[in-house]
């Protein structure tokens, strides 16, 4: 796929082969009900953020990104470095911030922390930035 097309996909993941030991592990993982509750809580935060518009973070335009995706100094430094090192486009810049906002919402955080931003950046395609 071309760079501009890949740039329109928010999350890129490479899924490695799962080893037998991990599959045979009998310890329970996180229950689906817990994941669902976390997603519902994040959706409720977004509903309050955007009012009756039924918008989600992914629907934000540039002005809304500026209003709702503010970073502290450390976050600004990380994003500036990522923009330069990964050669991020303006579209990628906004997509990373919207994804970081969603990750923060899922974590129950009002602010986007550096860890949320770093996680969002790791979902960019490695070959194009």
Residue 128, pLDDT above cutoff 50 = no
Please say whether the beta carbons of 96 and 88 come within 8 A: yes
pLDDT in tens, 100-119: 999 999 999 999 999 999 99
Please say whether the beta carbons of 74 and 110 come within 8 A: no
pTM of the model: 0.86
Q: Is residue 50 part of a domain?
A: yes
Q: Is residue 12 part of a domain?
A: no
Lowest-confidence pick of 2-11, 45-54, 76-85, 90-99: 2-11
Q: Is residue 105 part of a domain?
A: yes
Number of structural domains in the chain: 1
Average pLDDT of 120-124? Answer: 93
Average pLDDT of 50-58? Answer: 91
Q: Is residue 35 part of a domain?
A: yes
């Amino acid at each position: 796929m071309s760079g501009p097309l890949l740039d329109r996909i928010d999350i890129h993941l490479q899924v490695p082969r799962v080893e037998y030991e991990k599959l045979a592990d009998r310890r329970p993982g996180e229950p689906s009900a817990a994941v669902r509750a976390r997603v519902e809580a994040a959706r409720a935060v977004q509903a309050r953020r955007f009012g009756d518009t039924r918008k989600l973070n992914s629907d934000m335009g540039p002005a809304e990104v500026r209003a709702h995706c503010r970073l502290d100094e450390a976050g600004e430094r990380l994003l500036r470095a990522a923009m330069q090192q990964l050669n991020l486009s303006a579209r990628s810049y906004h997509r990373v911030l919207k994804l970081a906002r969603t990750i923060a919402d899922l974590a129950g955080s009002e602010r986007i922390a550096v860890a949320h931003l770093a996680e969002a950046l790791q979902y960019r395609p490695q070959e194009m930035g």
